[in-house]
Amino acid sequence: MYHAYTNDLRNCPYVIHTIDTYSIENYKVHPVLLRRAIYMCSFCDLITEDIDNMLYSFSQSYYHLFAMHLFLMNKHDNQYTQSKFKADLHKLQFNGDLITQNTLDYISSREKIIKQYISQHYSETEYNNFIVSLNNNGVSNNTCWQYMNGHDILEKVAIKITQSISSRYRNKYIEWVHSHISQKTRKDNLLKKFYNTTGVGSVHQLRDRLIEIFYDFPVDFRFVPAQKTQSQLHKIWG
Q: 3-class secondary structure for 152-209? A: HHHHHHHHHHHHHHHHHHHHHHHHHHHHHCCCHHHHHHHHHHHHHHHCECCCECHHHH
Greater confidence (37 vs 237) lies with 37
Mean pLDDT of 177-203: 91
Contact indicator for 159, 142 with CB cutoff of 8 Å: no
pLDDT above 70 (res 5): no
Radius of gyration of the chain (CA): 21
Mean pLDDT of 169-179: 95
Greater confidence (69 vs 1) lies with 69
Residue 204 to residue 16: CA distance in whole angstroms = 33
Residue 203 is predicted with a pLDDT of 55
Residue 19 to residue 48: CA distance in whole angstroms = 32
Contact indicator for 105, 59 with CB cutoff of 8 Å: no
Contact indicator for 165, 38 with CB cutoff of 8 Å: yes
Residue 165 is predicted with a pLDDT of 95
Residue 108 is predicted with a pLDDT of 98
Residue 86 to residue 80: CA distance in whole angstroms = 10
Residue 39 is predicted with a pLDDT of 96
DSSP state of 18: -
Mean pLDDT of 57-79: 97
What's the Cα-to-Cα distance from 130 to each of 62, 77, 121, 146, rounded to whole Å? Answer: 17, 15, 15, 18
Greater confidence (190 vs 10) lies with 190
Cα 100 to its chain centre, rounded Å, is 17
pLDDT above 70 (res 238): no
Residue 1 is predicted with a pLDDT of 45
Mean pLDDT of 103-110: 98
Mean pLDDT of 85-96: 95
- The model carries a pTM of 0.86
pLDDT above 70 (res 202): no
Contact indicator for 222, 230 with CB cutoff of 8 Å: no
Confidence tier at 3 by pLDDT (50, 70, 90) = low
pLDDT above 70 (res 195): yes
Contact indicator for 18, 225 with CB cutoff of 8 Å: yes
Confidence tier at 21 by pLDDT (50, 70, 90) = confident
Residue 70 is predicted with a pLDDT of 97
